[in-house]
Amino acid sequence: MESRHSGFGRERILVAPGPTQVPPDVLEVLGRQVLHHRSPEFRGALRRVRSGLQQIAETSDPVLLLACTGTAAMESAVINVADPADKVLVVSAGYFGERWVELASHYGCNVVPLRYEWGRVPSPDDLEAALRSHPDAKSVFLVHSETSTGVVLDLERFATVTKAAGTLLIVDAVSSFAAVPIRVDAWGVDVLISSSHKALMTPPGIAFLVLSPAALEAAQRTQRPRLYLDWERNLATQIGEEPETWFSAAVSLVSGLEAALDRIGREGIENVYARHVTLARHCRAAVKARGLELFSPDDDTSAALTAVRMPNGVGSTAVVQMMHEDWGVTIADGEARLKGSIVRIGHLGYVVPDAIDRAVDALGGSIDDIARLRRTEVAASAGTQQA
Ligand code: PLP
């Protein structure tokens, strides 16, 4: 579809922090005839995808694929490792940290939140102190890359703290996996959760978990009833010589994910991480060159997305809408309490510098248009009052 500013022949672009753009080779695979989920072709794809994800996570722990989005995988973590009334510690510095609080509270856990103002960077020292005050906490839930703010915490240092305390560490890596390094075995992450539609460049519909022996042991001890999201039952079908899924797999997405993993393999995961850092720098520089202020940290930790504050009097919801309709560029508004005051540009997955330039041009142009409109309205209303 053509839009006012996108220019002749220029396609709409998606530069949101998820879902993200899907590259042409992945789109081509997604368009192929559906495989049967008990066929040898699908078994092969499932084996290769689980192994590809393991390689990126740098782990020998098993990967469990589920046909759902990230939230259901998060829910599966709560119901597999925590019984009602279990004390769990949640690090929350944004909308997705609050999702952990909500899920664990919903399932009757005794939730101890370690809360930060949204946009702040959580500190492992605070977690260490919280665990000292709550030595009976059985697990720690946190968000590696808080997509609502652009903050990425120092996962290695957090894992050092939980390992020393002997608690399970459950990590939402939905917007960090394959964008920011995560070394599951070396750091000691017990449960790592991510999904298809962020840096993995595939549409939404697959979530996955990396499960440590300690996490699987905890799942065996918990009494809570569960079925579709039961780790043990699902994992039993996915490992071994003839892997399959207990349910009808999201077969086409698994094939798409395989193509995306091939792409990442060809580039090399360390190059992928380096590209995310470079693109994030490019984005921050372009935003600042437009005279706009960053909300997310102005450093290389913030590699998945950049959050930008709105100038006084300009609402981000209108800006995002104008960018989408008039410029053909889709980014994301702020979430929940940040809605209206920030926008978020995603540079994870299949994004090139030109897309970032277009996004920042559209952002600056939309802000200018809206500010101008607002000045005209204010002047008109002042004129009406005088008359
Ligand atoms: N956690 C983080 C950090 C996310 O960015 C998202 C989605 O944007 C989720 C969890 C929830 O995932 P989903 O929307 O796939 O259920």
Q: What is the pLDDT of residues 330-354, one digit of tens each?
A: 999 999 999 999 999 999 999 999 9
Distances, alpha carbon 120 to alpha carbons 143, 169, 293, 301, 333, in Å: 13, 21, 16, 13, 19
Closest residue by Cα to atom 9, ligand 1, is 70
Ligand 1 touching residue 172 (CB < 6 A): yes
- Domains with residue ranges and CATH for the chain: 13-17+268-386 (3.90.1150.10), 25-265 (3.40.640.10)
Ligand 1 touching residue 94 (CB < 6 A): no
Interval between CA 380 and ligand 1 midpoint (Å) = 43
SS3 338: helix
Residue 3: pLDDT band with limits 50, 70, 90: low
Alpha carbons 62 and 190: distance in angstroms, whole number: 11
Tell me, what's the pLDDT at 55? Answer: 98
Nearest C-alpha neighbor of 174 from the set 323, 17, 47:
17
Ligand 1 touching residue 175 (CB < 6 A): yes
Task: List pLDDT tens digits, range 74-127.
Answer: 999 999 999 999 999 999 999 999 999 999 999 999 999 999 999 999 999 999
Residue 8: pLDDT band with limits 50, 70, 90: very low
Neighbouring-strand partners of residue 146: 151
What pTM, to 2 d.p., does this model score? 0.96
* Separation of CA 117 from chain center: 19
Nearest C-alpha neighbor of 111 from the set 142, 97, 90, 83:
90
**Is the pLDDT reported for residue 29 higher than 90?**
yes
Task: List pLDDT tens digits, range 207-252.
Answer: 999 999 999 999 999 999 999 999 999 999 999 889 999 999 999 9
